[in-house]
Amino acid sequence: MSDGDMNATRRAQDWPNPAVGTFDSVQAIPGSSKPDPILVASDVSRSFGGIRAVSVDKLEVQRGAITALIGPNGAGKTTFFNLLTGFDKPDTGHVMFDGESASGQASYRLASKGMVRTFQLTKVLARMTVLDNMMLAGQHQDGESMLRGLIRLWGRQESSVRERALEILSQFNMTHMSGEFAGSLSGGQRKLLEMARGMMADPRLIMLDEPMAGVNPALTQSLLGHVKRLRSEGISVVFVEHDMDVVRDISDWVVVMAEGEIIAEGTPDAIGSNQSVIDAYLGSSHASLAEQILTGHVPDQLEVAAGLADVAKLEAAEIAALGAAPDAASTRAEDDADE
């Protein structure tokens, strides 16, 4: 077994965490300053029509740590990701990556500087082999120049790129798949390939958009281990995730978005009991239920009956309100039907 294969089979918790203690003096508030930020976003906003999708006053991402970006559906997480990585342009604001301006730069330029990302829906080249997908991601290749390509100055470099690609595939335990077409891989294997392909750019920051979505539990553990390995190698990681067990397992710091804004930051344990986060996920009317869950209080039958009665009163009031404005209700119904 190669060194890479041995590394790939290590248990996720075996990888050392160099970020331990980094956040001890960091305030758990939105926009908090970090000791050594690798990414800083200031006054970043993006609107679509009349809808404000993202409005972030400030965010700092700590170097060498795993930062989770969470929030309910529609919170603006992926849109914010696109703005940070050059796949979309903000209406206002400024982004700094490792001390240099990243605002207005194309995604491929940011990738060449060390900021790479994966996608919620994988973007592999299905009709190319796994190895070719990897080699294509190598940076600053001579073959990309028409002149150098014509006079074949790229042969020696191609050999080194191939060796690098096979080395990374070995680290991800995918060497045996190098000759397979990427389109034949499972969803989880494609996620691994995207992560491995990102490593061809020698990133300083890798941003993962829902890396565990649609992945079977066995492969999820493998992905978790690889993310922890990246951190142990000094690579900063930001990832969007809905699975709170995953967030608690691997993240050092958690950023919470709701309605396009950052509403909370903190450690995984602190975020789990943050009232703003509970309200964002469950609604303020469910705050007492969340408190019961967190404290372990189990309501008796009388409490349940009283809660159901309150819900019934609210529903009756909403129905009465709709009945008082039939035109508005019918208009909304027609709009929903059109959509």
288 pLDDT band (50/70/90 cuts)?
low
Determine the pLDDT at residue 318.
Answer: 63
| Mean pLDDT, rounded, of the chain | 81
Q: Strand 253-258's sheet: what is its strand order? A: 115-117, 205-209, 236-240, 66-70, 253-258, 261-266
Instruction: Find where tokens 């009945």 sit.
Output: 323
Tell me what the mean pLDDT of segment 23-42 comes to. Answer: 95
pTM for this model (two decimals): 0.74
Q: Is 76 left (phi over 0), alpha (psi -120 to 50) or beta?
A: left
Q: How far is 179 from 181, CA to CA, in rounded Å? A: 7
- Whether the pLDDT of residue 328 is over 90: the answer is no
Contact criterion met (CB below 8 Å) for 53 and 76: yes
Q: Which among 202, 203, 55, 208 is positioned nearest to 123, based on CA atoms?
A: 208
The strand pair at 66-70 and 253-258 is best described as parallel
Give the model's pLDDT for residue 30.
94
Q: How far apart are CA 124 and CA 109, in angstroms?
A: 20
Does the pLDDT of residue 51 top 50, yes or no? yes
Lowest mean pLDDT across 92-96, 198-202, 269-273, 333-337 = 333-337
Which amino acid does the sequence have at 223? L
Flag whether pLDDT at 44 surpasses 90: yes
The answer for residues whose C-beta is within 8 angstroms of residue 338's C-beta and 6 or more apart is none
